[in-house]
Amino acid sequence: MEEFKKYLKQLNISFLENEPLAKYTTWKVGGAADLFLEVKLADQIQDLIKKLNDLNIPYYILGSGSNVLISDQGFRGVIIKNSISGIEIYNEEQIDSQPKEDVKDVRLSQINKQEYYSFEDLDYDESQEPKVKVAIYSGTLLSLAINNLISNKVTGLQWFAGIPGTIGGAVFNNIHGGSHFFSEYLTGVDIIDEFGDIKYLSHDEMGFGYDHSKLQSDHKFILKAYFQLYKGDAKRAQETAIAWARAKKKKQPYNSAGCSFKNIDKQQMSDLNIPSNSWGYIIDNILKLKGTKKGQAMISNSHAAFIETFPGAVAEDVMALLELIHQKASETINITPKTEIFFVGFPNDRIKKFQ
């Protein structure tokens, strides 16, 4: 680490030591990182990643911290807070790929709108609108990207309004907004490999699935994402974004990390003979755990798949609730819930039951 610090000083890159990480997450819990860096420049990140790999120093990338649980012990290594942002809108003629049928298949085979979401009234099809290619740097906030694009009359990402993450986090977990997956709009990404080189991965190379991309096992830095969006109805997109974000806000506490668990599959739903595949339904109606508190964390009363925290909460409070749900579900319905969130700084044997 000393050599890395020396390197940062030579390059005039500022860093913080023993920086508490709670304030960089929506759960507002988690201990300190040995070293913390906020990166705003694309050229800088290439050199940093190469150096960290050369020196064999563990590092972890943080976007908005809205999908991570950081342990109270923090992280031994370097946390890179990604703030590399920017949006590029290209001319129509520069489109280099067409909508991918397989992307639509992913959506249709995994999501049945009527069963899974109640945003039917807001949803509409834009596939016949003129297309436009857009590139967005990974540290750009999703909300900022959506607003910026709509004000430039570019539509397509309005379904993801109200999700408090960055573009990088959205690609990494292939987020879902209403009945739409992020991967429906992605044509490719630039990643940075361990040598600091930029590599392009096409949509097909990203292994997208429900809350999944291949990048989760590769652990490469996502630098930039390429989208095929639309020159659609900007007014309608704006209204949709506002209405959807508002509807989410009513039900979903912000001091959380979103839904903690992945929906169960159709077979499990039919075996249980329940009308919903959501853990919110199971935790509320079968496990009867809604409103349960551990320390300063609580299984939300407004959406039981969300765990919310209050001032003074620690990561162990959240973990205690995740473990309680896991244990009760295993005993009561013989299903082990899989988490949608990512754990940082926990020993593997503590978290493997959730994966």
Ligand X SMILES: Cc1cc2nc3c(=O)[nH]c(=O)nc-3n(C[C@H](O)[C@H](O)[C@H](O)COP(=O)(O)OP(=O)(O)OC[C@H]3O[C@@H](n4cnc5c(N)ncnc54)[C@H](O)[C@@H]3O)c2cc1C
Contact residues for ligand X, defined by CB under 6 A: 26, 60-68, 82, 138, 163-166, 168-170, 172-173, 175-177, 221-222, 252, 254, 256-258, 342
Q: How far is the CB of 331 from ligand X (least distance, A)?
A: 28
Whichever of 60 and 346 has its CB closer to ligand X, that residue is 60
Closest to ligand X by CB, 67 vs 277, is 67
> Is residue 78 within 8 Å of 53, Cβ to Cβ?
no
**100: its two tokens:** 């991918």
Rounded to the nearest whole angstrom, what is the least distance from the CB of residue 229 to ligand X in the complex?
A: 18
Q: What letter would DSSP give residue 345?
A: S
182 token code pair: 């992020």
Q: How far apart are CA 328 and CA 139, in angstroms?
A: 38
Give me the half-sphere count of Cα atoms (radius 13 Å) on the Cβ side of residue 68: 30
Residues 6+ apart with CB under 8 A from 9: none
Contact yes or no for 24/33 (Cβ under 8 A) = no
The residue among 165 and 232 lying less far from ligand X, judged by its C-beta, is 165
**Distance in Å, CB of 263 to ligand X, minimum:** 11
Q: Which is nearer to ligand X, 62 or 157 (CB)?
A: 62
List, as one string, the DSSP characters of 138-164.
Answer: TTSBHHHHHHHHHHTT-BS-GGGTT--
Q: For the CB of residue 249, give the shortest distance to ligand X in the complex, in Å.
A: 8
If we measure between CA atoms, which residue out of 30, 46, 24, 346 comes closest to residue 166? 24
**Which of 131, 225 has the CB closer to ligand X?**
225
Q: How far is the CB of 273 from ligand X (least distance, A)?
A: 27
CB 343, min distance to ligand X, A = 9
Nearer to ligand X, 131 or 181 (CB): 181
DSSP 268: H
Q: Which residues pair with 223 in a beta bridge?
A: none
